[in-house]
Chain A
Amino acid sequence: MTLVLEAAAKSALLAFLLLTATAYTVFLERRLLGRFHHRIGPNRVGPWGLLQPLADGIKLLAKEDFMPRAADRVVYLAAPLIVMVAALFAYAVIPFGPPVELFGRRIHLYIANPDAGVLLVLGASSIGVYGLILGGWSSNSKYALLGSLRSAAQVVSYELAWGLSVLSVVLTAGTLRLGGIVEAQRELWFVVKQPLAFVVFFLSALAETNRAPFDLPEAEQELIAGYHTEYGGLKFVMFYIAEYVAIITQSALATLLFFGGWLGPVLPGVVWFLLKTAVFVGVFIWIRATVPRVRYDHLMGLSWKLLIPLALTNLVVTSLFVV
C-alpha cells in the first residue's frame, strides 16, 4: 500500500515538474536563441521575463477552441492526448539519481525500474507516431494528412538508427536497465567507448524530436504546420508539450547512455544528472540557432544511407569485442 502511495506521489510530482520544466524550456529556448542571434529575447513579463511561460500559457488557454466540421471527433480529440501521454510515459523508467535517504526511508529516484528499461523508452517513443498519424488523418485535411505521413516516415526512419545506436550501448553495458547502464560507466563514459554510437544517437535524437535542422513537419512553405495544422488552443498545446518533453527525454537519455548519468564528483547525483541534461537541451537550442533546415530527400538519405549502415557496422564490431 505504501509502495503504491509512494509511486503515485512520485508520479504526480514528476508530472508537475516535467510540465514546468517544459514551459521553461520554451522560455530558455527563446532567450538563448535571442542571444545566439545577437538580440535579447523575451524580457518584459516579470523579472528577466521569467513569467513569460505563464503569459504564454494564459494566451494559449484563452484561444478559440475550434474543430474542423468534417473531423472524426473521437480520434481528433484522442490524437494529442496519445502524443502527450506517450511522451510523458518515458519518464516512468528514467532514473534521476542514486537512491536517497529521506524521512528515514530509502527513496528511489525513479517510478519503476523494469529489467527492460531501455526497450520501454523505445516503445513509448514509437507509440507517439500513432498520435501523429491519427491527428493528421482525423483532421480531414490534405495538408494535415500529408504532413502526418511525412512526420511518421521521418520518425520511423530515425527510430531505426536510434535503436541500433542504443543497442551498442546496451551490449557494452551488458544490461537493459538504465540504472545498470549508468553504473557500468563508473570507469569510463560510453561517449569515449562508443563515439560512433553517440554521433548516430545524437543525430537521430534531433530528427526524432523534430528539431532543426530536421524540423520538416513544420515546413510552412509546403505543409503549413504539418500534422497539427488543424489544431488550436489547448489541443495544440498538448502537441507542443509533447515536442518539448521529447527534447528533455532525449537529453536525459543522452546523459544516461553516454555521459555517465548521475555520476560525478562533489555534487549530489541528481544535480549532476540535471546539469548534464540541461547542457544537452542547450546544445539542441544551439544547433537550432545555427543549422538551416535540410531538404526532405536529404533527411531520408542521411538516415538510410549513412546513419543506419554506420550504426549496424558499429553494432557488429561492438558485439565482436564483447563476445
Chain B
Amino acid sequence: MNRTVRRAMVEGAAILKGLGVTARYLFRRPVTLQYPEQRPRIPPRFKGRHWLTLYEDGDERCVGCELCAIVCPAQAIYVKPAENTPEKRVSKGERYAEEFQINMLRCIFCGFCEEACPTGAIVLGHDFELADYSRQALIYTKEMLTEPYPGASGRDPRREV
C-alpha cells in the first residue's frame, strides 16, 4: 500500500482513540472549585500572609533582631529596632521593633523569616486573599501585621518559641 495512505490510516486510528479519551471526560464531574462560594481547603502548613504574634500578656514577641530581614531572599522585610526603657516596655527583650514593614509584592512566601525568628514572633498565616488596588497598599505596616489580640493568628500565645 502507498506509504502516505498507510500513515494516514495509522494516524487516523490514533486520533479516534484520542477522541474517545476526551469523550469520556465530557461525562465526568468537573474538578473546578467555584471559588468565592466554595472555599478551598487550606492545609495546616500553608504559608499565607504574615502575623507578628503577641505573648499571652500582650507583650510583643519581636525583639527587633532583624534576622528575618537578613534571611529574607526577596529582601521584602524592613525592621527598625528601638530600645525598651523601664517606662516603655514593648517586648520582653532589650529591643523591640519600632517599625516593621513587609512588602507583600516582593514576598515569595518561603517562610525563611519564620524559621529564622529566635522568639517565634513572625509566623505565616492562612490568609491568601491579598489583592489590592495600589502598590502602596501592599506594603504592610506594623499595625497591619501585629495580631489584634494574643492568639488571633492561630499561634498558641503560651508557646515559648
Chain A contacts to B: CB under 8 angstroms: 32, 34-40, 286-287, 289-291, 301-302, 305-306
Tell me, yes or no, whether B8 is within 8 Å of chain A by CB: yes
Whether B30 pairs with A306 at a CB distance below 8 angstroms is no
Interface positions of B from 73 to 95, Cβ below 8 Å from A? none
User: How does the 8 Å CB contact mask read for B88-127 relative to A, with 1 for contact and 0 for none?
Assistant: 0000000000000000000000000000000000000000
Enumerate chain B residues within 8 angstroms of A35, measured Cβ to Cβ. 25-26, 30
Q: Is the CB of B15 within 8 A of A291?
A: yes
In the complex, how many residues of chain B place their beta carbon closer than 8 angstroms to a beta carbon of chain A?
16
Q: Which chain B residues border A38 with CB–CB below 8 Å?
A: 25, 28, 30-31
A39 near B4 with CB under 8 A, answer: no
Q: Is the beta-carbon distance between A287 and B19 smaller than 8 angstroms?
A: yes
Are B8 and A290 closer than 8 Å at their CB atoms? no
- Name the B residues within 8 Å of A287 (CB-CB): 19
A286 to B23, CA, bound (A): 8
A290 interface neighbour in B5, B22, B31, B32, Cβ under 8 Å: B22
Which B residues are CB-close (under 8 A) to A34?
Answer: 30
Interface residues of B in 6-62 (CB under 8 A from A): 8, 15, 18-19, 21-23, 25-26, 28, 30-32, 34
A interface SS class: helix
Q: Which residue of B lies closest to A305 (CB)?
A: B4
The one of A36, A291, A301, A306 in contact with B25, judged by C-beta atoms closer than 8 angstroms, is A36
- B26: which of A36, A305, A306 is its contact (CB, 8 Å)? A36
Q: Which of A32, A38, A301, A305 has the most CB of B within 10 A?
A: A38
**Cα(A235)–Cα(B144), bound, Å:** 49
User: Contacts A306-B4, A306-B5, A306-B8 known; A39 to B18 CB distance under 8 Å?
Assistant: no
- Chain A residue contacts of B34, Cβ below 8 A: 40
Interface residues of B (CB under 8 A from A): 4-5, 8, 15, 18-19, 21-23, 25-26, 28, 30-32, 34
Q: Kindly state the separation between the CA atoms of A305 and B15 in the bound complex, as whole angstroms.
A: 19
**A37 and B4 contacting across the interface, CB-CB below 8 Å:** no
A289 CA to B25 CA, complexed, in Å: 11
Q: Give the distance in Å from the alpha carbon of A258 to the alpha carbon of B32 in the complex.
A: 39
Other CB < 8 Å A-B pairs besides A39-B32, A302-B8, 13 of them?
A34-B30, A36-B25, A37-B25, A38-B25, A39-B30, A40-B30, A286-B19, A286-B26, A287-B19, A290-B19, A291-B19, A301-B4, A305-B4
**Chain A: which residue is nearest B19 at the CB level?**
A290
20 contacts between A and B (CB under 8 A): A35-B25, A35-B30, A36-B22, A36-B25, A36-B26, A38-B25, A38-B28, A38-B30, A38-B31, A39-B30, A39-B31, A39-B32, A40-B34, A286-B23, A290-B18, A290-B19, A290-B22, A301-B4, A305-B4, A306-B4
Which residues of the other chain, B, contact A306 by a CB distance below 8 angstroms? 4-5, 8
Give the Cβ gap from A247 to chain B, nearest Cβ, in Å: 18
Which residues of chain A have C-beta atoms less than 8 A from B18's C-beta?
290-291
Closest A residue to B15 using CB positions: A291
Nearest-CB residue, chain A, relative to B21? A290
A38 to B8, CA, bound (A): 29
